[in-house]
Amino acid sequence: MRQMKRELAHRDIERNLRPYRRAAKIHRPPEGWLRAIRQALGLNAGQLACYLKLTPKMIFQLERSEQRNTITLQRLDAAARAMQCELVYAIVPYDRSIEDRAEEVAHQNLWRKRNNVKGW
């Protein structure tokens, strides 16, 4: 029963991850998504700052923190909402399915346990 539930969960996750796998192939613009979307929408830093109740300098700091991968999801989401956009977040396995990765992890754990038990 537990195995069947796990298989159903794997299939469900795989189906839900399909669009994200495609999206993962799209690279972030060099200037970052915040700046790229802001500029594409025709917003200057001052306008976005007004929506977020920040200073324009803080907007540039947010954009730099996104480029450096140090921005928080909370800040990124707030900026996206201010531009009337939605933050979409996912964790997508590199090359294989969730099920394949789960089997690999289980196999590694089994070997780790065998190597830690005397007599194996």
pLDDT (tens digit, 9 = 90+) per residue, 59-107? 999 999 999 999 999 999 999 999 999 999 888 777 766 666 667 777 6
Query: CA torsion angle for 90, 93, 97, 102 (degrees, to 10)?
Result: -100
- Residue 54, φ and ψ in degrees, nearest 5: -125, 180
| All domains in the chain, ordered by first residue | 2-93 (1.10.260)
| Res 4: pLDDT | 79
pLDDT on residue 55: 97
Using pLDDT thresholds of 50, 70 and 90, give the confidence band for residue 41: very high
